[in-house]
Amino acid sequence: MLESNLYVALIHFPVINKKDQPIGSALTTIDLHDIARASITFGIRGFYVITPYEDQATLATQVIEHWTKGVGGKLNPDRKKALELIRVTKNFEETVNLIEHESKQPVVTIATSAKKIPGSIANEIFRQKLQNKASHVLVFGTAWGLADELIDACDFILDPIYGNTDYNHLSVRSAVSIYLDRIRNGR
């Protein structure tokens, strides 16, 4: 597998609800499966699931262990390989510190949003930034997206994904797959 300096982070807190209020969101186990599968497909170095909620972290760990250490991994070795990319952390700062420690490189953080945010960059510009020696973490929000405080803490923001209609509320697992394809394959 190609050596990668790209990571994915899925944030469950702080995110926003449909009223644009900061909240914490519940874990969706299908996100773990689908984002891990997209991550391994596109050569992502690690996939971080971030939740401060102990019960949600426990659920994530149980799902991961079923597929990596339990019967799930024996029945489906491909799924095992994908879910081995997942690490569960309590907050974004811990995640960045772990990536920096693992990669021994500075970490560049890149927020994503379905909303157009002033100063956001195109995928093509971000792809060029991947050429440097830093590690990069693409940050995705659950619920209705990342809270402003987290977006503001990131080094860059990617342009939103637009289709050919006015509708713009993809599932996070779909958004991850589309971004990774565009970044890795130059679309």
Q: What pLDDT, on a 0 to 100 scale, did the predictor assign at position 131?
A: 76
Residue boundaries of the structural domains of the chain: 6-185
Q: What pLDDT, on a 0 to 100 scale, did the predictor assign at position 146?
A: 98
pLDDT tier at 2, thresholds 50, 70, 90: very low
The model's pLDDT over 80-95, given as tens digits with 9 standing for 90+, comes to 999 999 999 999 999 9
HEC string of 11-77 equals ECCCEECCCCCEECCCCCHHHHHHHHHHHHHCCCCEEEEECCCHHHHHHHHHHHHHHHCCHHHHHCH
**Beta carbons of 36 and 47 less than 8 angstroms apart:** yes
The model's pLDDT over 111-124, given as tens digits with 9 standing for 90+, comes to 999 999 999 999 99
The percentage of residues in the chain with a pLDDT greater than 90, rounded to a whole number, is 90
**Residue 152 scores a pLDDT above 60:** yes
Average pLDDT, the chain: 95
- Main-chain phi, psi angles of 171, to 5 degrees: -65, 150
The model's pLDDT over 34-87, given as tens digits with 9 standing for 90+, comes to 999 999 999 999 999 999 999 999 999 999 999 999 999 999 999 999 999 999
Q: What pLDDT, on a 0 to 100 scale, did the predictor assign at position 4?
A: 83
Find the farthest-apart pair of alpha carbons in the chain and give their distance in angstroms, rounded.
48
What's the CATH number for 6-185? 3.40.1280.10
Provide the b/e sequence for 149-166 (b: ≥16 CB within 10 Å): ebbeebebbbbbbeeeee
- Main-chain phi, psi angles of 151, to 5 degrees: -60, -45
